[in-house]
């Protein structure tokens, strides 16, 4: 099974490959999601939202049930995103990387790949953004429609991105 890695290394081997997520990736992807949330301190400052995410992850289908693309570096999972078809649009449900890779261009690499895949079948993409990623999605050209409180004091940015 691929491992998430970690430590303080922010470098990669440069052998980056996207592949479809598989059932055996679930644990790694869920842990990467939670590690990303912990990186921004949401587990401490927004415990109710964090616990809700933990429960959601344990109850949802695995990566084989949706469009999940994993980015590997030398067979190590370093990042991923998940798209789900909705009526009239696609939703970018999750996009996470190892926290030590934040700020090293991986977000843009994931975003560009996700946009290309989403544009194959859709004209619009919905993004429910973590508060810490609002600046990123704005920089990528997504339009903030509103903020939605999903737990007391925890607001997600609701973005739309035109894929055409």
Q: Where are the beta strands (DSSP E) in the chain?
A: 16-20, 67-73, 76-86, 89-97, 124-129, 143-151, 154-162
Q: Which is the CATH superfamily of the domain at 16-162?
A: Gcn5-related N-acetyltransferase (GNAT) (3.40.630.30)
pLDDT of residue 2: 39
Q: How confident is the model at residue 160 (pLDDT cuts 50, 70, 90)?
A: very high
CB neighbours of residue 48 within 10 Å? 12
Q: What residue ranges do the domains of the chain occupy?
A: 16-162
Average of pLDDT values for 51-80?
Answer: 75
In this structure, of 4-8, 47-51, 84-88, the range with the lowest mean pLDDT score is 4-8
pTM of this structure: 0.80
pLDDT at 151 over 60: yes
| Surface-to-core class of residue 75, CB atoms within 10 Å of its CB (0-12 exposed, 13-18 middle, 19+ buried) | exposed
How do residues 110-133 score in pLDDT, each as one tens digit? 999 999 999 999 999 999 888 889
Residue range 138-161: mean pLDDT, rounded: 90
What number of CA atoms fall less than 13 Å from residue 51's CA on the CB side?
7
Q: Model confidence at 71, in pLDDT bands (50, 70, 90)?
A: very high
**Cα Rg for the chain, rounded, in angstroms?**
15
Give the pLDDT of residue 9. Answer: 44
For 89-98, what is each residue's pLDDT tens digit?
999 988 989 9
Distance CA 132, CA 126 (A): 17
Q: What is the mean pLDDT of residues 34-47?
A: 69
pLDDT of residue 63: 56
């Amino acid at each position: 099974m691929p491992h998430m890695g970690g430590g303080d290394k922010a470098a990669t081997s440069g052998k980056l490959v996207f592949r479809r997520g598989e059932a055996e990736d679930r644990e790694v992807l869920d842990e990467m999601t939670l590690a990303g949330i912990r990186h921004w301190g949401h587990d401490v400052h927004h415990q109710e939202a964090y616990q809700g995410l933990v429960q959601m992850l344990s109850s949802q289908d695995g990566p084989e049930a949706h469009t999940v693309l994993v980015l590997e570096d030398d067979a190590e999972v370093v990042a991923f995103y998940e798209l789900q078809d909705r009526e009239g649009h696609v939703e970018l449900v999750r996009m996470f990387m190892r926290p030590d890779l934040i700020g090293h261009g991986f977000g843009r690499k994931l975003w560009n790949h996700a946009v290309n895949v989403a544009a194959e079948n859709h004209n619009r993409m919905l993004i429910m953004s973590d508060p810490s990623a609002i600046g990123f999605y704005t920089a990528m050209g997504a339009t903030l429609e509103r903020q939605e409180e999903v737990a007391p004091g925890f607001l997600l940015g609701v973005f739309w991105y035109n894929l055409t």
